């Protein structure tokens, strides 16, 4: 794993299991900010880490959300209870879901089914006066550093990335894909893009990746998981993922598939291109450890492909 700048701490959210999703703590003099708040079950570790760094909760100025998918935002209300002076910063389209998460929760229950409560627990509201929308290019001051927010749709329409001026770090949420440390060490770095329902948009997803590269950050902090080791090569793999996922959706739409047949086709199509990329990296999907980490987001991606196929059929 690439080491983070000294003033940034990557905190494991223990989402499903260690190393799958994290939060970042930015330390700026006598104040601090969290980027991505994981789930309510992650909050105790976040606060313990914060206190080990010598801070008290009233020094947290911001609890930043890259997007409202619940592995990134589910812990926000719980975290805000501990941080009385904090403000939530997020995309303008995310703000209503932070203030009233009922629609968000209903949609997530469809995706996660019976395991929703185990993963996320209760998702509570945050008072409107404690939520601030951040338009593209908007900045927030934290100590002597400037945090700049960039609109980066594709994975979700309400996604922002955050650039830290002091360390030239870009916090990418899911806009720059996933890079699990357990899948590194092959011939090439392995990364994967999650094509999440209901608003996976391939063209915008690729444009966001290119925008991130154009900002030329020294560090890219992924929520899943840690700091990216290969910006250019990783971006190329992510764009191949997006193109392959889009082709799965296009073919499914051309075949007129619906219901279970559509979902099965997308499941098989996503698994096929994942296997192709694993082979390119010299990783064996039949290895239990590789399989565990390589396919754990496939259901979400294949659902995103199915939803896109349905949109294409209606176009």
Q: Is residue 140 part of a domain?
A: no
Nearest to 293 by CA among 194, 176, 180, 173: 180
pLDDT at 238: 98
Domain that holds residue 31: 1-90+92-133
pLDDT at 147: 98
* pTM of structure: 0.94
Q: Is residue 112 part of a domain?
A: yes
- Enumerate residues 6+ apart whose C-beta is below 8 A from 277: 190, 192, 237, 240, 241
- Taking residues 136-142, what's their average pLDDT? 98
Q: Is residue 258 part of a domain?
A: yes
Residues 197 and 289 in one domain: yes
State the Cα–Cα distance between residues 37 and 55, nearest whole angstrom: 18
Summarised one tens digit per residue, pLDDT across range 221-276 is 999 999 997 899 999 999 999 999 999 999 999 999 999 999 999 999 999 999 99
Nearest to 81 by CA among 58, 104, 50: 58
Q: Is residue 128 part of a domain?
A: yes
CATH of the domain at 50: 3.60.15.10
Task: Say how many residues make up the chain.
Answer: 315
Q: Is residue 123 part of a domain?
A: yes
Residues 110 and 253 in one domain: no
| Better pLDDT: 260 or 315 | 260
pLDDT at 201: 96
Q: Is residue 202 part of a domain?
A: yes
Nearest to 21 by CA among 11, 32, 8: 11
- The domain tally of the chain equals 2
Residues 51 and 123 in one domain: yes
pLDDT at 209: 98
């Amino acid at each position: 794993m690439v080491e983070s700048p000294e003033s940034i701490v990557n905190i494991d959210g223990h989402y499903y299991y260690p190393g799958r999703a994290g939060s970042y703590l930015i330390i700026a003099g006598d104040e601090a900010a969290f980027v991505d708040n994981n789930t309510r079950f992650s909050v105790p570790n976040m606060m313990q880490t914060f206190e080990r760094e010598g801070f008290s909760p009233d020094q947290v100025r911001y609890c930043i959300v890259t997007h409202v998918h619940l592995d990134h935002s589910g812990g926000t209300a719980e975290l805000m209870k501990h941080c009385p002076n904090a403000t939530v910063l997020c995309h303008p389209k995310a703000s209503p879901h932070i203030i009233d998460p009922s629609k968000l929760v209903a949609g997530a229950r469809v995706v996660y089914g019976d395991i929703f409560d185990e993963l996320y627990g209760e998702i509570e509201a945050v008072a409107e006066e404690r939520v601030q929308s951040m338009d593209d290019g908007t900045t927030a001051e934290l100590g002597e550093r400037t945090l700049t927010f960039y609109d980066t749709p594709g994975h979700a329409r309400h996604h922002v990335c955050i650039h830290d001026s002091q360390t030239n770090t870009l916090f990418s949420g899911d806009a720059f894909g996933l890079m699990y440390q357990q899948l590194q060490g092959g011939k090439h770095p392995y990364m994967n893009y999650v094509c999440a329902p209901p608003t996976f948009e391939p063209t915008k997803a690729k444009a966001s990746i290119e925008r991130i590269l154009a900002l030329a950050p020294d560090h890219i902090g992924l929520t899943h998981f840690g700091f990216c080791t290969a910006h250019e090569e990783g971006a190329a793999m992510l764009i191949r993922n997006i193109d392959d996922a889009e082709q799965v959706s296009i073919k499914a739409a051309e075949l007129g598939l619906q219901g279970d047949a559509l979902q099965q086709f997308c499941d098989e199509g996503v698994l096929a291109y994942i296997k192709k990329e694993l082979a390119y990296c010299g990783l064996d999907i039949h290895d239990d450890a590789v399989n565990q980490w390589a396919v754990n987001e496939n259901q979400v991606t294949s659902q995103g492909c199915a939803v896109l196929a349905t949109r294409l059929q209606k176009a």
